[in-house]
Every structure is written in structure tokens, then in C-alpha cells.
């Protein structure tokens, strides 16, 4: 059986997706699974044992999507699976010519028209992993227990990263990056947590960050003052390999945090305006959640706090993070 799996979302969503891709392969071990996502997400899926081939879209463009779908016709897929599907994918999935399409729109309380198989609970409020499993359950015909997310790293990649870090003790990784500035744990509180970890004799601390946040926060100077290594010039694959050597991490509601979990690292998540119900689909003992209730997180259902979120672009108080009181 030949399967085309599609998820056109962000970096963290791709790391979360690896759970469903593994479950799909476990249920159909002789299948050939292709994965379509954005080019920027491909390093997360590289060398993944469940995936036979990855294909990337260079940009978020309906024209690029339509070209890719039409180009898949010659592959004669048995299934096209649209995970957390966009409206465009729901409208045009038939272009790929798969024998069956199974589609789950991320916000519709109905099965999309071009889906050959009905989704059992479309539109249900549930975490991102369970949302992906709506597709798996529809294909298999029964409810499947989710498996852990997973990113594959080779021994050679780990060896190169270890030589670069050069630290002997256990390593605690600080991951201050996030796509939106209000999802970042405030800089002064982040420094406080770094000092807490540095005071412990059993850990070395490092900072792994993208160049944008590093420049905005002047991390080279800050990390020099704190006397901890900074890695802000790594490719995504190098970032993943370096992070895989760590024992624990502190992350925002962001892609790096989900990558950390998929590498089997104990990950502390700090949530601010984002939706916990969606984006913390993990065991809270294994991956602690730092989150407080605030009145200003007022989007979403009023009777389900964990599915409420905030969409403001500027905030004068940042109480959703500043009111948190925890020490690593």
C-alpha cells in the first residue's frame, strides 16, 4: 500500500505529527509512506524510520500546493491523508488521484466533502496528537492508542555535536526561541532560571537559539556574562543533534520544545498566551507544564480554560508568564 501523508503546518506541528506517522507505519508495516510538508520542516522528518520519502513545498502558496498534488498523480497512491488539513487541501486533494482521501480540517465540525472516509469526531476539542489520530482511526477503523513522538538522529550526528559541545556532565538546554514574542518567557525571568540551574552541581547549562532571538536579546553578551555556551548559528539538523545530547530543557510554547520532547528529553514548558489544550499533549510529570490562569486569555470556550488563548500582538503586563512562580 502506498500512502501520501500531508501536514502543512509549523515546525512544532511537524514534530507532533511524528507520533501519528509512526502509528500509521505500525498499523501498516508493509506500506510505503510519503510525507509532504514545507521545506523548512523537512529536517525534523529526516531519516525517520516510518517515512520512505519526504517532499517539501518551498512556500505557503496555493499554486505550489496544486502543482504538487497534480504531480503526485503518476505515483498512484492508495491513500492521501490530510492531517490538520487546510481549506485548500480539503478542496483540492482529489487532484493527487489517490484511490481514497481521508481529510480532517483543523476547525470544521464536519468531514470534508472530498474525504472518502468519515471522521468520527470532527471539530472535537482535543490536543494536537489526538487530532492527528482522527485520521489514523479513520483509516484503521478503530481507536488507536497514541505512541510517543520521535525524531531520528544518527550516531555520527551525535558524535559531531558532542565534539562541538565538549561538556562532560549532564546538560540542561535553555530554548528561549518562539515565533511570536509574547510566547517567549521574559528575558529577566529566563536569566533567573539559568542561574538556578548553574547553582546545581549536577548540570552544565547551554543555550540553543535561532539568530533572530539571539540578536534581539543580545544573547552573545548575556551568555558571556552568565558564563554559559551559546549556540545560535546551527542548521536545524545541527540544532536537533545538539539538543539530543541534553538531559533536560526549558522551552516556550514553540517548535524547539516539541522537538525536545520528540528526542526523549524531559522538557519543561512555559505557556503564556497559547492554548494549553492544543499544544501540551504530553504527560505533565514527564514534561512539566508551567502555566497560570489569567482573565485576559479570553479567546476560546469560556467553560474550558485549557482551550482558551490570547491573540493580542502587544501586551503591557505579560501576566500569563510574569505571574508564574517556579524554580528549575
Distance CA 222, CA 228 (A): 9
Superfamily of 2-140 according to CATH: Glycogen Phosphorylase B; (3.40.50.2000)
Residues with pLDDT less than 50, the chain: none
Q: What pLDDT, on the 0 to 100 scale, is given for residue 167?
A: 79
Domains in the chain: boundaries: 2-140, 155-322
pLDDT for the residue 202: 81
Q: Which long-range contacts (CB under 8 A, 24 or more apart) does 261-269 make?
A: 261/15, 261/149, 261/287, 262/15, 262/18, 262/44, 262/148, 262/149, 262/150, 262/151, 263/151, 263/153, 264/148, 265/173, 268/328
Whether the model clears a pTM of 0.75, i.e. scores above it, the answer is yes
Identical fold between 2-140 and 155-322: yes
* pLDDT tens readout for residues 58-77: 988 999 999 999 999 999 99
pLDDT in tens, 22-63: 999 999 999 999 999 999 999 999 999 999 999 999 988 999
Q: Which CATH number fits domain 155-322: 3.40.50.2000, 3.30.565.10, 3.40.50.720, 3.30.430.20?
A: 3.40.50.2000
250 strand-pairing partners: 174, 268
For residue 109, the model assigns a pLDDT of 93
> What pLDDT does 19 receive?
98
d(CA 264, CA 281): 14
What's the rounded Cα separation, in Å, for the pair 46 and 197? 32
Sheet containing 32-38: give its strands across: 53-57, 32-38, 2-6, 79-85, 100-105
What's the confidence (pLDDT) of residue 185?
97
Amino acid at each position: 500500500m502506498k500512502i501520501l501523508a500531508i501536514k502543512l503546518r509549523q515546525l512544532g506541528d511537524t514534530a507532533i505529527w511524528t507520533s501519528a506517522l509512526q502509528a500509521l507505519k505500525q498499523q501498516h508495516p508493509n506500506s510505503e509512506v510519503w510525507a509532504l510538508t514545507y521545506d523548512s520542516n523537512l529536517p525534523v522528518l529526516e531519516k525517520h524510520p516510518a517515512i520512505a520519502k519526504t517532499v517539501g513545498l518551498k512556500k505557503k502558496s496555493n499554486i505550489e500546493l496544486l502543482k504538487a498534488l497534480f504531480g503526485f498523480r503518476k505515483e498512484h497512491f492508495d491513500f492521501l491523508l490530510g492531517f490538520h488539513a487546510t481549506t485548500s487541501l480539503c478542496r483540492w486533494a482529489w487532484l493527487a488521484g489517490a484511490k481514497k482521501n481521508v481529510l480532517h480540517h483543523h476547525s470544521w465540525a464536519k468531514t470534508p466533502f472530498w474525504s472518502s472516509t468519515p471522521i468520527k469526531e470532527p471539530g472535537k476539542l482535543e490536543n494536537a496528537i489526538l487530532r492527528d489520530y482522527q485520521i489514523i482511526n479513520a483509516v484503521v477503523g478503530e481507536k488507536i492508542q497514541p505512541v510517543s513522538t520521535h525524531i531520528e538522529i544518527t550516531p555520527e550526528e551525535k558524535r559531531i555535536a558532542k565534539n562541538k559541545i565538549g561538556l562532560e556532565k549532564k546538560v540542561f538546554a535553555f530554548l528561549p526561541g518562539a515565533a511570536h514574542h509574547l510566547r517567549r518567557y521574559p528575558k529577566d525571568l529566563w536569566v533567573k532560571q539559568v542561574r538556578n540551574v548553574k547553582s546545581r552541581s549536577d548540570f552544565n547549562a547551554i543555550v540553543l537559539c535561532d539568530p533572530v532571538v539571539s540578536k534581539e536579546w543580545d544573547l552573545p553578551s548575556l551568555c558571556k556574562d552568565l558564563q554559559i555556551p551559546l549556540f545560535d548559528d546551527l542548521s536545524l539538523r545541527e540544532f536537533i543533534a545538539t539538543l539530543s545530547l541534553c538531559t533536560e530543557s526549558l522551552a516556550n510554547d514553540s517548535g524547539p520544545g516539541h522537538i525536545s520532547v520528540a528526542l526523549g528529553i524531559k522538557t519543561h514548558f512555559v505557556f503564556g498566551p497559547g492554548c494549553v489544550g492544543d499544544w501540551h499533549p504530553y504527560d505533565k510529570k514527564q514534561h512539566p507544564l508551567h502555566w497560570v490562569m489569567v482573565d485576559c486569555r479570553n479567546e476560546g470556550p469560556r467553560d474550558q480554560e485549557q482551550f482558551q488563548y490570547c491573540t493580542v500582538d502587544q501586551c503591557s503586563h505579560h501576566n500569563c508568564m510574569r505571574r508564574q512562580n517556579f524554580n528549575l
